[in-house]
Structure 1
Amino acid sequence: MENQTQIFGIRAIIEAINSGETIDKVFLQKGLRGELFTELESILRQHAINSSYVPVEKLNRLTKGNHQGAVAQISPIEFYDLENLVLSVMESGKTPLFLLLDQLSDVRNFGAIVRTAECTGVHGIIIQKKGGAPVNGDTIKTSAGAVFKVPICKVDHIKDAVFYMQASGIKVIAATEKTENTLYDVSFTEPCAIIMGSEGRGINPSILKVVNDKAKLPLLGEIESLNVSVACGAFLYEVLRQRR
């Protein structure tokens, strides 16, 4: 399976962005200069599109065409608007359950989480526009196609989503070891959103300061943490157990 559709060439990428194409990430050649290249950089900032500067060898591996120092990856899905999604779930009469992923970087972890989310009735997944794993072919494969079934939203900052959830009457719970509470001490029966942190850093400390509650998984062995997708599965099935 191809990772995802690519666009290469500076002008082609600019036109794709201006036409409303859903761009997941843009790779830019390190050290490149020029008026058109500067225009592309400006447009990427305006639209808050994830980008990174890479050696030309990386671009040569991504495409065999004349990339002109820029290769863009098109997302295979359309992203949902957060406010519209939350409103529609609230109006449906269901008890909302959302997942917020704080800059998860591994696409396979991301895909596994989306798959578990679909199986446990999660109403939507919120990710940050920059710094997180892309939705690509590996994500689709690992999720067993669940990325096409679970609504996914992109926001400028996860903290913005936290505040919006709270303003909507949805309790935000952080999955973190920085608490004495285990997930069995916390109620998930009311509307809630669970935050999972990145593989190396966990949840950003500034986000931990504003959540409604924190919970951890009890660990009885010598290893100090679980894989994030496994931990997420444990949390979601505890939600399911409590709500049944």
Structure 2
Amino acid sequence: MEKTTYIYGLRAIIEAIESGQNLGKIYLLREAEGVLMGQLKTLVNKHKITNSFVPVEKLDKISSYGNHQGAVASISPVDFASLEDILEKRNVESKEIYLLLDGVTDVRNFGAIIRTAECTGVSAIIIGESGSAPINPATIKTSAGAVFNIPICKVAHIKDAVFLMKAYGITTIGATEKSAKVIYDVDLNHSIALVMGSEDRGINPSTLKVIDEPIKLPMKGDIASLNVSVACGAILYEIVRQQG
């Protein structure tokens, strides 16, 4: 943890506190009210977190004019987990879901994907060391703080992570419009590693070659593709449905 950064938004900060993150100081809008603000103030008092009430101008400046909702907190950057450690400690009797993001670069897409992954019980999210969206205040805000509740791992290359998943007996699937199989026709009732590609080019061709099963979502309209976070959510929930 090299430096301190800021997160903003009521849900993101509440999730950070409830997940045991080490917050430095919380800045609150003097006149702010509401249910979530009341919940945040209660948590601040309960955990004795250093805080101060400030004018909106200070919050605007700290958050770089992001949608702070009247609350900004200083926090250390998120630690990355070890994928090998997670796989070594997994319960081989359970049906797990892993999510591999091959070049998702938009922070809001990344945040939305993290939020959906947490809601669907994904065991870990894996990203590449280069060519991936950073975990910054916008990512944390869009994830509604879910980034603090799910392990995120960095690997040199996503293809390496695919090989590692296969070595542990986890079926790898990848979303691509080039697939002949629709996701609803694929057996997902076992441990699955889902690979999602970048917003513009999809999954890297070299990665696509080594996954077990390329899949696609049915498309009824004239637009040929979905936003990556929307597509990811649809696929994750089909995995959840099949796994029961």
Query: Does TM, scored on the shorter chain, surpass 0.5?
Result: yes
Q: Is the 8 A contact 1:110 1:139 kept in 2?
A: yes
Aligned position for 2:85: 84
**Aligned to 2:214, what secondary structure does the other structure show?**
strand
Structure 2 residue aligned with 1:241: 241
How much does 1:75 deviate? 7.0
**Over the residues paired in the alignment, what is the CA RMSD in angstroms?**
1.7
**1:37-52 equivalence runs, <5 A:** none
Q: Deviations over 1:99-131 (max 9, x none)?
A: 000010000000000000000000000000111
Q: Is the 8 A contact 1:75 1:136 kept in 2?
A: no
Assess if the C-alpha contact under 8 Å between 2:95 and 2:243 holds in 1: no
Q: Provide the secondary structure at the position in 2 that maps to 1:104.
A: coil
Equivalent residue, structure 2, for 1:100: 100
> Match for 1:145: what amino acid?
G
CA distance in 1, matches of 2:208, 2:5: 34
Instruction: Please give the secondary structure, in 2, of the residue aligned with 1:90.
Output: coil
Looking at structure 2, the residues matched to 75 and 223 of structure 1 have their Cα atoms a distance apart, in angstroms, of: 41
Please list every run of 5 or more consecutive structure 1 residues that lacks an aligned counterpart in the other structure. 6-73
Q: Report what 2:127 is aligned to.
A: 127
**Inter-partner Cα distance in structure 2 for 1:193 and 1:90:** 15
In structure 1, what is the Cα distance between the partners aligned to 2:131 and 2:76? 15
Report the Cα distance in structure 1 between the residues aligned to 2:149 and 2:90, rounded to whole angstroms: 15
2:131 is equivalent to residue 144 of structure 1 = no
Map 1:1-244 onto structure 2 (within 5 A): 4=5, 76-90=77-91, 93-244=93-244
| Contact 1:109 1:228 (8 Å CA) reproduced | yes
Following TM superposition, by how much is the alpha carbon of 1:90 offset from its aligned partner in structure 2, in angstroms?
A: 3.0
Deviations along 1:150-200, one digit per CA (max 9) or x if unpaired, are 100000000110000000000100011111101101111111100000000
Deviation by residue 1:178-237 (Cα, 9 ceiling, x = unmatched)? 111011011111111000000001000011110000110000000010000000000000
- TM-score, normalising length: structure 2: 0.69
Residues 55-111 of structure 1: CA deviation (Å, up to 9, x unaligned): xxxxxxxxxxxxxxxxxxx972110001101122235x4212100000100000000
* 4+ aligned runs moved over 3 Å, structure 1: none
Could you list the runs of 5+ residues in structure 2 that have no partner in the other structure? 7-74
Distance 1:103 1:138 in 2: 18
Aligned 8 A contact 1:89 1:123 in 2 = no
Mapped to 2, the partners of 1:4 and 1:105 lie a distance apart of 20
Between the aligned residues of both structures, percent identity stands at 58
TM-score normalized by the length of structure 1 = 0.69
Q: Deviations over 1:124-157 (max 9, x none)?
A: 0000011110001001000000000010000000
- For these two proteins, the number of residue pairs brought into alignment is 174
